[in-house]
């Protein structure tokens, strides 16, 4: 192996530096901005949009075109001309920022591309936003009848609910009227695992928070979808408001991130049926399920969204590590309405990383 002398090594370093300087010069656009950061300081959300102008000059000998301007947020809007900028010519790139619903400090980037997108220049806008006072209608967007009761949510997504653990979500309410309001929640769909503390009477002008809780005891042996729907009835008022809650009951994993744990992999999760007719026999498609983990995969629950959809899987089915099984999914057109059918099957497994999987089932039911 050749050994570099001190002089040779110095020449190599100088050559590398010269190349780097040359490449840096080549990578720099001749369009120069007089500043790269615009600080709006403290602004008020209530005052609306603010704008600034970044001035630039073409320091090169040839015309330059601004090819594209990208922003890091939809709250930022650039305005610029695509006309060629002659040598020595000056111009401005206007940037407008909308502070709506963005209280606090902000920093947004604007990337300017020139030279056929070969060169880029990054600009930034910064500042601090003082939030405006929101109206009652904004804080509590849903009116329950016309008696003054308002709430801030109509649906609560609980996602995963682990057995033997209580999970809570909340809805805030206000009585904007000058009289007490009597309220009832009438349950039209019940899982058996939901509890709430909605008050029966809400005083005039009162605000509060309602707790909705799911708790699935391990002793229940239940896995799968949780869904509850409540009709909100206000005495003396008509109301069509419903509150819905949903989630999936899963087991309590001792080591959620266990790399040796079972891992469910479907070759595809969209199952398409060809056109079927009302008088046809049930049609079946197959999908392969593989356990890519190091421990047995156990199917805890299978829940089709419609009685017309069935599967060959049973709760308790076990797939050994590195093994695969064929899952047959059958659709009975006689039990479906005409037109496009879009259904699904929820599967709960002991895969700790993705305990809930969903197979989508689609097809078109035609007349005989």
In this prediction, residue 175 carries a pLDDT of 98
**CB-based contact 352:255 (threshold 8 Å):** yes
In this prediction, residue 12 carries a pLDDT of 45
Residue 284 makes CB contacts below 8 A (sequence gap 6+) with 328, 329, 330, 331
Taking only the tens place, the pLDDT of each residue in 95-132 is 999 999 999 999 999 999 999 999 999 999 999 999 99
In this prediction, residue 27 carries a pLDDT of 54
Q: How far apart are CA 213 and CA 226, in angstroms?
A: 12
In this prediction, residue 115 carries a pLDDT of 92
| Closest CA relative to residue 171, chosen from 230, 212, 213 | 212
Q: How is the chain split among helix, strand and coil, in percent rounded to 5?
A: 10, 50, 40
Distances (CA, A) of 305 to 156, 327, 343, 349, 365: 20, 17, 6, 17, 17
In this prediction, residue 3 carries a pLDDT of 44
In this prediction, residue 11 carries a pLDDT of 52
In this prediction, residue 22 carries a pLDDT of 38
Q: How far apart are CA 14 and CA 17, in angstroms?
A: 5
Q: Residue 346 has which token pair?
A: 């929820």
Q: Residue 302 has which token pair?
A: 């299978």
Taking only the tens place, the pLDDT of each residue in 150-163 is 999 999 999 999 99
Q: How far apart are CA 8 and CA 6, in angstroms?
A: 5
Residue ranges and CATH numbers for the domains of the chain are 28-130 (2.60.40.10), 136-250 (2.60.40.10), 264-366 (2.60.40.10)
| Residue 261, helix vs strand vs coil | coil
In this prediction, residue 274 carries a pLDDT of 83
Listed as ranges, residues in the chain with pLDDT below 70 are 1-27, 256
């Amino acid at each position: 192996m050749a050994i570099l002398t001190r002089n040779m090594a110095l020449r190599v370093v100088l050559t590398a530096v010269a190349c780097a300087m040359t490449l840096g010069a080549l990578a720099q656009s001749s369009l120069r901005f007089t500043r790269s950061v615009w600080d709006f300081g403290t602004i008020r959300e209530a005052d609306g949009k603010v704008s600034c102008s970044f001035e630039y000059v073409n320091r090169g000998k040839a015309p330059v075109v601004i090819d594209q301007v990208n922003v890091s947020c939809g709250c930022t809007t650039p305005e610029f001309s695509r006309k060629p900028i002659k040598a020595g010519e000056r111009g401005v790139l206007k940037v407008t920022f909308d502070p709506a619903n963005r209280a606090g400090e902000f920093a947004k980037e604007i990337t300017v591309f020139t030279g056929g997108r070969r060169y880029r220049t990054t600009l930034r806008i910064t500042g601090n936003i003082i939030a405006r006072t929101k109206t009652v209608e904004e804080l509590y967007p849903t009116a329950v009848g016309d008696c003054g009761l308002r709430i801030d949510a109509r649906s609560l997504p609980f996602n995963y609910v682990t057995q033997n653990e209580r999970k809570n979500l909340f809805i805030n309410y206000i009585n904007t009227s000058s009289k007490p309001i009597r309220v009832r929640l009438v349950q039209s769909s019940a899982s058996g695992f939901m509890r709430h503390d909605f008050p029966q009477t809400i005083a005039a002008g009162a605000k509060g928070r309602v707790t909705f809780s799911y708790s699935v005891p391990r002793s229940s042996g239940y896995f799968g979808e949780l869904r509850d729907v409540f009709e909100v009835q206000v005495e003396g008022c008509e109301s069509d408001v419903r509150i819905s809650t949903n989630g999936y009951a899963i087991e309590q994993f001792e080591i959620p991130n266990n790399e040796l744990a079972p891992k469910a992999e479907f070759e595809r999760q969209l199952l398409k049926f060809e056109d079927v007719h009302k008088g046809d026999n049930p049609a079946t498609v197959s999908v392969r399920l593989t356990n890519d983990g190091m421990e047995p995969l156990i199917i805890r629950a299978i829940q089709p969204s419609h009685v017309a959809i069935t599967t060959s899987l049973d709760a308790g089915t076990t797939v050994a590590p590195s093994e695969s099984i064929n899952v047959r999914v059958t659709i009975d057109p006689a039990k479906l309405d005409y037109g496009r059918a879009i259904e699904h099957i929820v599967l709960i497994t002991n895969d700790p990383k993705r305990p809930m999987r969903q197979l989508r089932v689609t097809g078109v039911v035609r007349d005989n």
